[in-house]
Structure 1
Amino acid sequence: MQIGLVGLHNSGKTLLLNTLAGIEKTEYHKSEEAKLEVIKVPDERLNNLTYIFNPKKQVNATIEIFDIPGLRVSDDGKVRITTSFLNNVKNNDALFYVIRHFENASVPHPMNRINSLADIEFLETEFLFSDLSFLENRIEKLKKDILKRKEDRLTKELEVIEKCYEHTNNELPLRTLDLNEKDISLLSGFQLLTLKPLAIAINFDENSMQDASSIIGEIKEKLGQQNLEIIPFSAEIEYELSKLEPEDQQMFMEEYGIKESALDKILRTAFKVLGLQSFFTVGEDETRAWTIKKNYTAQQAAGVIHTDFYNKFIRAEVVHYDDFMKYKSFSKCKEAGVWRLEGKEYIVADGDILNIRHS
């Protein structure tokens, strides 16, 4: 699964991705081709398990991040949504808007403004138009098909599509519409843009960062989406921070009053928005964080490790990370009653430590 970075040109998307990937700073993205990087997801829990077990290696979970070329000014002097841009956006499982909120004359905003709310509304409006156009055409086609052959499947689909059309016609993104699992499954193949899970990262500079909290509060109120994840960050500061040695990083963070790297929070949020979680395996050879979808069963999680583990699954030895860190050993976890055996239907929790028994 992958998450797409979406934004206007000169928003800081590419610098953000390069910093996450540990790539040296380069010129702003001038290519029309999107760029994909596989990024390690930081996890303090995995670091702690590695310290305890002292294995030969540690393997972090990863996430695929897609940098979609930023929207530019066209020949008529306006920023326009292109077909190639929309296609790049559609190919992602979730979206992360990267929004600019800093002044820099050397890298001008394509619309010659610094207004983070307006930039968000521009993207949301364009994506709503795209969805609305698709839904309108789909309704027309379904009505014609129903006249030719009266199938319950087509009638049910029409009901869902009309509900979505009404919602988007009221200028509301589909992610805010109450849809059940069957509805979502039906819509999944259509790649509707406003149905995709969304988070937002707003790129501040050193001067504007002090206003981040109030700006984000205003944006959530205006959008009417209080649960929307909006993360303040500074691409330039995070890049400079990433080039320092660990001890110098701590001094740098203290100087700027930074409690935690925003990059870590951005990656965790991307993981969350994609509906992913981690379970751990530990031992002398390696400690590893495995990526699974939420609500995966123990048998499905076993299959992520190896297909044979799925087919030959017997039981899973389970202890949650929090319980393990309390007792620091499996034997003491057993004595405390927090180590247990679970069957194939057990729903794996984020942070479970698993050992798969198989035939």
Structure 2
Amino acid sequence: MEAGIVGLPNVGKSTLFNALTAAGIASENYPFCTIEPNVGAVPVPDSRLATIQKYIQTQKVIPAVLQLVDIAGIVRGASEGEGLGNKFLSHIRNVDAIVHVVRCFEDDDITHVDGSVDPIRDIETIDTELMLADLESVTNSLDKARRTARSGDKDAKRRVELLEVCKTVLDDGNPVRSLNPEDPTLRKEINGLQLLTSKRVLYVANIEEDDLEGTGQHVQRVRERATQEGGEVVPVCARLEAELAELDAEDQQEMLESVGLAEPALAVLARAAYKLLGLESYFTAGEKEIRAWTIPIGATAPQAAGVIHTDFERGFIRAEVYAVDELVQYESEKAIREAGKLRVEGKDYVMQDGDVCHFLFNV
């Protein structure tokens, strides 16, 4: 699962990406286009890993990982080919969610493409370009779907219905995600159209170092906008985070304390993006490693096992499950088992965030 970082030029987008990916996990080229954005694997901080390690000695600890794509800055007119144009838009089409970096700091040395700092105008610029691109895509797809539907093709008829709903929303000047259908089947069908504005958005307010809590007027305006959309805002000082990312653990902690932060804001951002994508973690723990595995919220036990290896899902028999809090209470897996707290779950079990599991399988 991937989230794409977008924003206007000079908003701090690449600084943020570089800070996020400075954890020693190298970025790589994105394979599907000529002008290639950077892709980075970002560890998702999770204090439960350290808790498990306290009671189960292991050789290494592996956190969950979020994949981020640094997409070139969009400009007004991108939907008509300005800047990277269609190449930029195709990059967005291939990610699962959008992290939208919005400039909320004043700096005369960093020129804004529109001459002044106005985060709502910036958001609307990008939203407009994405909606115009979607409208063109929907219009073209409708013509083709209608021709196919005339033959009585049921799938084509359903596609026409969906596209017409999306076109109405876009014609009214709203992104497709504003539909927000409660029916999961309908939501999946709409997402299947791969429209740019159907993707969920997390706003990152790039702030000044003297406003690390994001109380300034610019950030408040972004929060109001996000609330209207049912979204979230994470305030981040990209410049400060870039400096923190270059320090070792001891110096980093000292710097965090000096500015009044409990942890890097990037940790909050990584967790928020993980949540935005509808993901959660479960754990496996043993002598070789303690590891967080990424699964979609609502995954069953066999599906979770399949993330480790397809054979685990194919030959799934049962899962032995306990909670991290139970490990804290009983202090060992053996004690959990002896207390009768080790749950045995079958194929219909829906995984819970933070489950610690052993899978039994046979192929």
Q: TM-score, normalised by structure 1?
A: 0.89
Kindly indicate whether residue 7 of structure 2 is the aligned counterpart of residue 7 of structure 1. Answer: yes
Instruction: Please name the residue that 1:44 is paired with.
Output: 47
Measure, in 2, the Cα distance between the counterparts of 1:274 and 1:225.
20
Measure, in 1, the Cα distance between the counterparts of 2:217 and 2:102.
16
Stretches of structure 2 lacking an aligned partner (at least 5 in a row): 25-33
Kindly indicate whether residue 109 of structure 2 is the aligned counterpart of residue 109 of structure 1. Answer: no
Instruction: Please name the residue that 1:354 is paired with.
Output: 357
Deviates more, 1:267-276 or 1:155-164: 155-164
Residue by residue, what CA displacement relative to the aligned partner does 1:87-114 show, whole Å, maximum 9, x if unpaired?
1111111110111122333331222221
Measure, in 2, the Cα distance between the counterparts of 1:22 and 1:320.
32
Matched residue type, 1:201: V
Measure, in 1, the Cα distance between the counterparts of 2:54 and 2:307.
25
Partner SS, residue 290 of structure 1: strand
Shift of 1:294: 1.3
Shift of 1:234: 0.4
Shift of 1:34: 0.6
Measure, in 2, the Cα distance between the counterparts of 1:352 and 1:329.
15
CA gap 1:202/1:20 in 2 versus in 1, 3 angstroms: same
Deviates more, 1:263-272 or 1:237-246: 237-246
Matched residue type, 2:134: D
Residue by residue, what CA displacement relative to the aligned partner does 1:59-89 show, whole Å, maximum 9, x if unpaired?
1111211001113589xxx976711111111
Partner SS, residue 215 of structure 2: helix
Q: Identity over the aligned pairs, expressed in percent?
A: 35
Deviates more, 1:181-190 or 1:12-21: 181-190
Partner SS, residue 135 of structure 2: helix
Kindly indicate whether residue 155 of structure 2 is the aligned counterpart of residue 153 of structure 1. Answer: yes
CA gap 1:337/1:163 in 2 versus in 1, 3 angstroms: farther
CA gap 1:168/1:140 in 2 versus in 1, 3 angstroms: same
Partner SS, residue 91 of structure 2: helix
Instruction: Please name the residue that 1:28 is paired with.
Output: none
Partner SS, residue 212 of structure 1: coil
Of the three residues 183, 187, 193, the one matched with 2:186 is 183
Residue by residue, what CA displacement relative to the aligned partner does 1:172-209 show, whole Å, maximum 9, x if unpaired?
22222133333333334432011112111111112454
Kindly indicate whether residue 278 of structure 2 is the aligned counterpart of residue 275 of structure 1. Answer: yes
Q: TM-score, normalised by structure 2?
A: 0.88
Matched residue type, 1:116: P
Shift of 1:322: 2.8
Instruction: Please name the residue that 2:347 is paired with.
Output: 344
Of the three residues 77, 84, 88, the one matched with 2:87 is 84
Measure, in 2, the Cα distance between the counterparts of 1:318 and 1:23.
31
Kindly indicate whether residue 126 of structure 2 is the aligned counterpart of residue 123 of structure 1. Answer: yes
Matched residue type, 1:175: R
Matched residue type, 1:168: L
Measure, in 2, the Cα distance between the counterparts of 1:70 and 1:335.
57
Instruction: Please name the residue that 2:170 is paired with.
Output: 168
Shift of 1:142: 2.5
Deviates more, 1:225-234 or 1:291-300: 225-234
CA contact (8 A) 1:202 1:231 kept: yes
Shift of 1:341: 0.1
Residue by residue, what CA displacement relative to the aligned partner does 1:18-54 show, whole Å, maximum 9, x if unpaired?
1122179xxxxxx953111112222111122123212
Matched residue type, 2:60: K
Residue by residue, what CA displacement relative to the aligned partner does 1:218-245 show, whole Å, maximum 9, x if unpaired?
3343465263111001011111222333
Measure, in 1, the Cα distance between the counterparts of 2:5 and 2:167.
26
Instruction: Please name the residue that 1:319 is paired with.
Output: 322
Matched residue type, 1:166: T
CA gap 1:311/1:141 in 2 versus in 1, 3 angstroms: closer
Partner SS, residue 315 of structure 1: strand
CA contact (8 A) 2:180 2:187 kept: no
Of the three residues 43, 62, 68, the one matched with 1:65 is 68
CA gap 1:296/1:223 in 2 versus in 1, 3 angstroms: closer
> What is the root-mean-square deviation in Å for CA atoms of aligned residues?
2.5
Instruction: Please name the residue that 2:308 is paired with.
Output: 305
Partner SS, residue 292 of structure 1: strand
Shift of 1:141: 2.7
Measure, in 2, the Cα distance between the counterparts of 1:240 and 1:150.
61
Matched residue type, 2:121: A
Deviates more, 1:180-189 or 1:54-63: 180-189
Matches for 1:235-254 after TM superposition, within 5 Å: 235-254=238-257
Matches for 1:13-52 after TM superposition, within 5 Å: 13-22=13-22, 32-52=35-55
